[in-house]
Structure 1
Amino acid sequence: MHRLLNQRNLLGLLFMLPTAILLLLFLTYPLGLGTWLGFTDTKIGRSGEWVGLENYRFLIDDSLTLLALFNTVFYTVVASVFKFILGLWLALLLNRNLPFKSFFRTIVLLPWIVPTALSALAFWWIYDPQFSVVSWLLVKGGLMDHYIDFLGDPWLARISTIIANVWRGIPFVAISLLAGLQTISPSLYEAASIDGATRWQQFRYVTLPMLSPIIAVVMTFSVLFTFTDFQLIYVLTRGGPMNATHLMATLSFQRAIPGGALGEGAALATMMVPFLLAAIMFSYFGLQRRAWQQGGQ
C-alpha cells in the first residue's frame, strides 16, 4: 500500500476522485437526464414516452424559439465585445503605478462578488419607470421631459439587460487580463522603446501577442457565462416585454417548469450545447494555432 501511494500518477488520481464524483453527480447526471428528456414528451406529474426528434422539429419551427435564439446571440456578442474592450482598458489602467492601486483593484471586484440577484434588483430599481435615478437626472438636467420606461420597450430592454451584464462581467475580464499583464516582462517594453516603438506599437506587437492565450481563455468563459445567463434576465424582465429579452435559458425554464412541458424545455436547453461547444472549440483551436505558430518561429 505504501508503495502504491508513492506513485505520483496513482496519488494524483486519488486526489481527483472526490472532484470526479461531484462532477458525475451534479454535472454528468443532469446533462444526461436532460438530454434523455429532450427526446420524450414528459410533462410535470406524468411520465413521458419516447418521441424522438419531435420536440426539436417543433422548436425549429417555433417563432418564439427563434426569437430567443436571436436574443441570446445578440446579447452574448454585444455584451462579450463590450466586456472585453472595457475589461482590457481597465486592466491596462490598473497595471500602471497608480496611488492606492491595491484599493482600486479590490473595489473593481465588487460587481463580480455581489450576488447576481442582488445586482439585478439594483438595476431593476435604476430602470424603474417611476423611480429611476437615471430618468430623474435626465429630467432634472433638462435633457428629457418624461421618465424613460427602460424595461417596457423591446430594444431598450435588450440594451438595458446588456448594460447590466457588462457591468457585472467587466471585473472578471479585467482582473484576469491584469494577471496576464503582470507576467509580461518589462524588458520587452524596454527593448521595444529602444527600437523606437510608440505606445500603440508596444501594445499591438508586445501586449496583445503575449496576452492572446489568456484572452482566448477569459473570453471563452465570458461567452459561456453570458450565453447561459439566467438569473439576471429572470429577475429583471422574466423575458419581457413581448419576449424581447427571453434567452434560451429563460425560455427553457418557462417551458419546462411554469409551462409543465419538461421534454420540450429539456430539448430547448440541449439545443444550447452545440453553441457552447463551438465557443470552446474555437478557443481551443485558436490556442493550438498560436502555439504552432510560435513553435515554428
Structure 2
Amino acid sequence: MVAPAILYVLLLVGLPFLLAVYYSVSAYTIYDPSWHFVGLSNFRQIVSNPVFQDTLANTFLFTFGSQFLGLVLGKFGALLLMRPFPGRTIVRALIILPWAVPIALATVAWEWMFDSLYSVINWTLISLGIITRSEAPNWLGNPHLAMLCVIVVNAWRFFPFAIVIFLAGMTSIPQDVIDAATVDGAGFWRRNYQIVLPMIMPIVAVGLIFGIVFTFTDLSVVFLLTNGGPVGATSVLGFEGFQVGIVSGDVSHGAAISLFMLPVLFFVVVGMLRFIRRREI
C-alpha cells in the first residue's frame, strides 16, 4: 500500500536530488557536457560571490518576513472566525481562496495592484488625500518596496493556511480551561497569549515548518512579480539557482546554489522539531 508513495518520492524527489549532487561536484555546463570532478570548489565559489551573499540574505528576509506576517494575519483571522456572526460558514470557505487560487493568476493580479501607473493602491491613497500623484511610490521599482511587495504577496498566500492551523489548535482546547482562566480574572489578551498560544504552539510549529520549507525553496512569487529585480533586490536562492543553472546553462553552479538550501533547512527543521518535542514533554 505504501509502495506507490515511496516510488513517487524516489522518482520525483530522490532522483533529482541525486542528480543535483552529481552535477554540483562537477564542472558540467550545457556548453561543455563532459563531466569532470571538481569536489567542493563550486560551493566555495558561490559562497565567496557577493551576489550569492545578497541573495542568501534576501532569502532569509523573504522567508521569515512573510511567515511572521502570515502568522500574525492568521492569528487575528482565526480569532475573528471563532466568533459567531451571520455568514461565518461562507467566510470560512472563502478564506481559503488565496491558498487555492493558482499562484500565476494571483501574482498577475498583484502585479497590476503594484503597477507604477495603474496601481489601485496608489489611486486609493491619492483619492483619500494621503499622498499626491508625484509622491505615489513605485512599488516594484524601488528595491526596498519591491522586497516588501513579495513578502506581502507570499504572506497573503500563506495566511489562509495559518488560519486553518490556528483554528484547529484553538478548537481543540477544552472550554473548561478558558472558563477557568476567565473566572480567575484573565482578560482577552492574557487568555490568548499566556494560555491559548502556549497550548497550541506545537501545532503552530508544525505549520510553520511547512511554511518555511515551502517558502525557502519557492521561486514562483519572485519570478512572476519582480523577476529578481530591481537590480537583484528580490532575488532568492530558488530563483538564483534557476537563473544560473537553467537560463545561463551553468548547471554545476546552479545545482550547488540549490543544494545550499539543504543544510539550512535541515537545521531549521531539526530545531523546530526539538522545540515541539520539548513542548509536548
> Normalization by structure 1: what TM-score?
0.90
1:33 equivalent to 2:19? Answer yes
Larger Rg: 1
Deviation string for 1:222-245 (max 9, x for gaps)? 111221121111011110110000
Quick one: distance in 2 between partners of 1:282 and 1:93? 31
- Structure 2 residue 8 is matched with structure 1 residue 22: yes
Match 1:145 to one of 133, 153, 161: 133
The residue type equivalent to 1:21 in the other structure is L
Q: For the residues of structure 2 that align with 1:200 and 1:257, how far apart are their CA atoms?
A: 50
Shift of 1:265: 0.2
* Structure 2 counterpart of 1:70, from 57, 74, 98: 57
The answer to whether residue 273 in structure 2 is matched with residue 279 in structure 1 is no
Shift of 1:129: 1.0
Tell me, in whole angstroms, the C-alpha distance in 1 between the residues paired with 2:193 and 2:166.
15
Partner Cα distance (1:93, 1:282) in 2: 31
The residue type equivalent to 1:205 in the other structure is Q
| Deviation of the 1:22 alpha carbon | 0.6
Paired amino acid for 1:184: I
Q: After the TM superposition, which segments of 4 or more aligned residues of structure 1 sit over 6 Å from their partners?
A: none
Paired residues in the alignment total 278
Identity %: 33
Cα distance, 1:186 vs structure 2: 0.8
CA distance in structure 1 between the aligned counterparts of 2:104 and 2:36, rounded to whole angstroms: 36
CA 1:194–1:141: 2 relative to 1, 3 Å: closer
1:154 alignment partner in structure 2: 143
| Post-superposition offset of 1:34 | 0.7
* Range with greater deviation from structure 2 (224-233 or 56-65): 224-233
Higher mean Cα deviation, 94-103 or 19-28?
94-103
The separation in 1 between residues aligned to 2:174 and 2:144, in whole angstroms, is 45
State the match for 2:217 in structure 1. 228
For structure 2, the 5+ residue unaligned runs are none
- Displacement of 1:100: 1.4
Q: 1:276: Cα distance to partner? A: 0.9
2:268, 2:159 → 1: CA distance? Answer: 19
1:83-102 to 2 correspondences below 5 Å: 83-102=70-89
Kindly state the Cα deviation for residue 121 of structure 1 after the two structures are TM-superposed: 0.6
SS at match of 1:51: coil
Aligned counterparts of 2:204 and 2:81: Cα–Cα separation in 1: 17
Per the normalisation by structure 2, the TM-score is 0.95
AA partner of residue 210 (structure 2):
F
1:163 to 135, 152, 160: 152
| Deviation readout 1:104-135 (Å, 9 max, x if unpaired) | 11111011110111111111111111111112
Considering only aligned residues, what root-mean-square deviation do their CA atoms show, in Å?
Answer: 1.3
Select between 239-248 and 177-186 the one with higher mean Cα deviation. 177-186
Q: Verify the 8 A CA contact 2:62 2:147 in the aligned structure 1.
A: yes
Stretch moving more, 244-253 or 163-172: 163-172
Aligned to 2:107: 120
Conserved? CA contact 2:202–2:280, under 8 Å: no
Output the CA distance in 2 between the equivalents of 1:57 and 1:209.
42
Could you say what secondary structure the match of 1:257 adopts? helix
Change (3 A) 1:96 1:140: closer
- Matches of 1:65 and 1:205 in 2, distance apart? 41
User: Could you give the per-residue CA deviations for residues 12-39 of structure 1, whole angstroms, max 9, x where no partner exists?
Assistant: xxx1111011101111111111112111
Q: What residue is the counterpart of 2:203 in the other structure?
A: 214
Q: For residue 191 of structure 2, what is the aligned residue in structure 1?
A: 202
Q: What letter corresponds to residue 109 of structure 1 in structure 2?
A: I
Post-superposition shift, 1:85? 1.1
Q: State how far apart, in whole Å, the 2-side matches of 1:193 and 1:129 are.
A: 50
Name whichever of 91-100 and 247-256 sits farther off.
91-100
Listed as ranges, the gaps of 5+ residues in structure 1 are: 1-14, 293-297
CA distance in structure 2 between the aligned counterparts of 1:218 and 1:242, rounded to whole angstroms: 33
Q: Distance in 2 between matches of 1:137 and 1:202?
A: 37
The Cα shift of 1:138 comes to 2.3
Measure the CA separation in 2 of the matches of 1:114 and 1:176: 19
1:136 aligned partner: 123
Q: Is 1:51 the counterpart of 2:6 in the alignment?
A: no
Q: Give, in angstroms, the shift of residue 177 of structure 1.
A: 1.3
Q: Which amino acid aligns with 2:25?
A: F
Deviations 1:177-198 (A, max 9, x none): 1111111111111122222222
Partner of 1:190: 179
